[in-house]
Structure 1
Amino acid sequence: MSYLVDFANFLVNAIGASGYIGIFLLMFLESSIVPLPGEFVIPPAGYLAATGKMNLWIVIIDGTLGSLFGALFNYYISKTLGLKFVLKFGRIFRLDHALKKTVIFFEKHGAISVFIGRLLPTIRHLISIPAGLSKMRVFAFSLFTTAGALIYTAGLAFIGYFVGKNPDLLKYYMHRFSLGLLIFALVLIAGYIIYRRKYDK
Structure 2
Amino acid sequence: MIEKIIGLIIFFVTATISKYGSLAVMVLMALESANIPIPSEVILTYGGFLVAQGKLNFHLVAFAGAFGCLLGSIVSYYIGLKLGRPFLWRYGKWLLVSQKDILRAEKFLEKYGELTYFVSRLLPVVRTFISLVIGISKGSFIKSNLYGFLASWIWSYVLVYVGVKLGANWEIIRPWWDKFSYLIVAIIIGGIVWHVVRVFRDSKLTTEDLIIDKA
- The corresponding residue for 2:196 is none
Structure 2 Cα separation of the partners of residues 10 and 139 of structure 1: 33
Contact 2:122 2:155 in 1 (8 A): yes
Aligned with 1:37 (options 36, 39, 58) = 39
Letter in 2 for 1:128: S
In structure 2, give the amino acid aligned to 1:118. R
Query: Do the aligned partners of 2:35 and 2:129 also contact (CA within 8 Å) in 1?
Result: no
Q: Could you tell me how far apart the structure 2 residues matched to 1:143 and 1:86 are?
A: 25
SS in 1 for 2:35: coil
| Cα offsets for 1:24-54 (capped at 9, x unmatched) | 1111111112121111111121122222211
Residue 22 of structure 1 corresponds to: 24
Q: Does 1:157 align with 2:160?
A: yes
Q: Deviations over 1:109-136 (max 9, x none)?
A: 3321121111111111121111001111
CA distance in 1, matches of 2:101, 2:16: 40
* Secondary structure, aligned partner of 1:53: coil
Say if 2:130 is the partner of 1:123: no
- Superposition pairs for residues 5-84 of structure 1, below 5 Å? 12-83=14-85
The answer for unaligned runs of 5 or more in structure 2 is 1-8, 92-97, 181-215
TM-score, scaled to structure 1: 0.66
Tell me how many residue pairs correspond in the alignment: 160
Q: Residue 136 of structure 2: which of 128, 133, 137 is its match?
A: 133
Does structure 2 conserve the Cα–Cα contact (< 8 Å) formed by 1:110 and 1:131?
Answer: no
- 1:113: which partner in 2? 116
Cα offsets for 1:144-188 (capped at 9, x unmatched) = 11122111111010111122155657x9xxxxxxxxxxxxxxxxx
Aligned CA distance change for structure 1 residues 81 and 161 (closer, same or farther; 3 Å):
same
Percent sequence identity is: 30
Q: Give, as a single letter, the amino acid of the residue that structure 2 aligns with 1:42.
A: L
Q: CA deviation at 1:100?
A: 7.1
Query: Any idea what SS the aligned residue of 1:118 has?
Result: helix
| Superposed CA RMSD | 3.3
For 1:69, the aligned partner's letter is L
In the aligned structure 1, how far is the partner of 2:112 from the partner of 2:61?
31
**Amino acid across the alignment from 2:160:** A
> Secondary structure at 1:54's aligned position in 2?
coil
